[in-house]
Structure 1
Amino acid sequence: MKKNYKGYLIDLDGTIYLGNHRIPAGEDFIHRLQAANIPYLFLTNNTTKTPRVVQKRLATEFNIETPLDTIYTASAATVDYMDDLGLEKTVYVIGEDGLKEAIYGAGYKKERENPAYVVVALDTDLTYEMLALATLAIHKGAKFIGTNPDLNLPSERGLLPGAGSLVKMIEAATRVQATYIGKPEAIITEKAVKKLGIPKEELLMVGDNYLTDIRTGIDNGIDTLLVTTGFTKAEEVPNLPISPTYVVSSLEHWEV
């Protein structure tokens, strides 16, 4: 039996839109939440774009006007985690502008030789030298952070290497396990729950990817809604190791 949820954690790509393509039912789902004054937080592992860029893209491409504070990225969660640790504010970053802007904007300084942190995310301009610098810094004792564990990045071309694939390379080179921040890890989940200010038992995690979105809920005590518009297909559902709380083929079938 469906519960009446007080708040929602919501994935973006594959759930509210798919790459550059609109999902009208996803857009309508957000409009219905807004009309009902139900709090929500977009929870994304994408570190390549700042929350402001995400906000603008939602408005211009997907007909969704949303406040900036409804967007929580793995980049923001990474900075929050680093702030919690309280080490020296020096860092070597493999990642794109969204991540670098978040980290450097929080007062962290770039350091190539002896940083306190090495942060690794998706970087489409990756070079061997960048991998070498990260590896050497971790060997010297830098705290090794992977922004998210996604091994693949869905695209119009197919499944491309994701941030997790880059992190795995450096784990192999250093024999050091990274601390992962993004979905389905507890770090981003706990910070998102705190940001919304709603108890876990009154929240619903909505997403298209069983390995990240749905495991976020399953692994952290939050009910889940799998929508089969993106990564995880309907034919895979019967064989999932732990079933989502709910499964729909389209968010048009979900009553808020």
Structure 2
Amino acid sequence: FYTSALATAHFLKTQASGCSAYIIGAHGLINALYEVGIPFNDVNPEYVVVGETTGYNYEMIIKATELINKGAKLIGTNGDMTSPSDRGVIPACRALIAPIELATGKKAYFIGKPNPLMMRTGLKKLGVHSEEAVMIGDRMDTDIIGGVESGMETVLVMSGVSNRENIQQFSYQPHYILDRIGDLVPKKAKA
């Protein structure tokens, strides 16, 4: 699995080696940035990086706004507006970034799907060509379009926001539709 947090860490490492970031996100994002040598900085970072988190609050929005107004660049790990959860559909990364964009007048650069940068980097890390890979995802507007635009076969799983009814509104379609990710592997016959 190549996550948007890993792609964000790789992007910042290759774009701005030695940079620092004010990070709004969960442990996966913080760890990914730390692993490539990008330290947390809430005073004068080059970047404000926003990912999905349940610890989001108004003080973080204020701090991010201040830092961006002082020159930090705004990065989003992914462009998902919503995400499925046990509580139903909840705000995701793009929704968390929206108040920061509105307050600063600056637009975030989103690293995750469907950004071709993430798709090409993931293929390179796997050591395969797009014809040899499959994009598996639960969203038509990021996962499946990312795969289609990268020349991969696509598998839509029905565990996310997209469903069999709303996929018909898109001009592109997945190659395969499965109820859940576990359906990728055939079940063993009982002896």
TM-score norm. by structure 1 comes to 0.66
- Which residue, 85, 90, 114 being the options, matches 1:160? 90
Q: What's 1:84 paired with?
A: 14
What SS is found at the alignment partner of 1:206? strand
Q: What's 1:9 paired with?
A: none
* 1:205 to partner: Cα distance: 1.2
CA shift in 2, pair 1:240/1:254, >3 Å: farther
Q: What's 2:26 paired with?
A: 96
Q: What's 1:196 paired with?
A: 126
* 1:92 to partner: Cα distance: 0.5
Q: How does 1:36-47 map to 2 (within 5 A)?
A: 42=1
* 1:248 to partner: Cα distance: 4.2
What SS is found at the alignment partner of 1:92? strand
Instruction: Measure, in 2, the Cα distance between the counterparts of 1:246 and 1:208.
Output: 12
CA shift in 2, pair 1:85/1:226, >3 Å: same
2:164 partner letter:
A
Instruction: Measure, in 2, the Cα distance between the counterparts of 1:110 and 1:158.
Output: 32
Deviation track 1:188-245 (CA, whole Å, cap 9, x = no partner) reads 2111110111111222212222122111112222221223344321122333221223
Give runs of ≥4 in structure 1 deviating > 6 Å: none
What SS is found at the alignment partner of 2:154? strand
* 1:93 to partner: Cα distance: 0.6
CA shift in 2, pair 1:107/1:217, >3 Å: same
Deviation track 1:147-200 (CA, whole Å, cap 9, x = no partner) reads 111111211211111111011221111111111011221222111110111111
- Which residue, 71, 93, 113 being the options, matches 2:43? 113
Instruction: Measure, in 1, the Cα distance between the counterparts of 2:11 and 2:48.
Output: 13
Instruction: Measure, in 2, the Cα distance between the counterparts of 1:114 and 1:250.
Output: 44
Are 2:151 and 1:151 equivalent residues in the alignment? no
Q: What's 2:137 paired with?
A: 207
* 1:132 to partner: Cα distance: 1.1
Instruction: Measure, in 2, the Cα distance between the counterparts of 1:254 and 1:234.
Output: 21
Q: What's 2:99 paired with?
A: 169
Q: What's 1:13 paired with?
A: none
8 Å contact from structure 1 (residues 113, 133) kept in 2: no
Are 2:55 and 1:125 equivalent residues in the alignment? yes
Instruction: Measure, in 1, the Cα distance between the counterparts of 2:158 and 2:29.
Output: 29
Alignment identity in percent? 38
Q: Which runs of 5+ in 2 are unaligned?
A: 187-191
Q: Which runs of 5+ in 1 are unaligned?
A: 1-41, 43-71
CA shift in 2, pair 1:142/1:225, >3 Å: same
* 1:80 to partner: Cα distance: 0.4
What SS is found at the alignment partner of 2:78? coil
* 1:75 to partner: Cα distance: 1.4
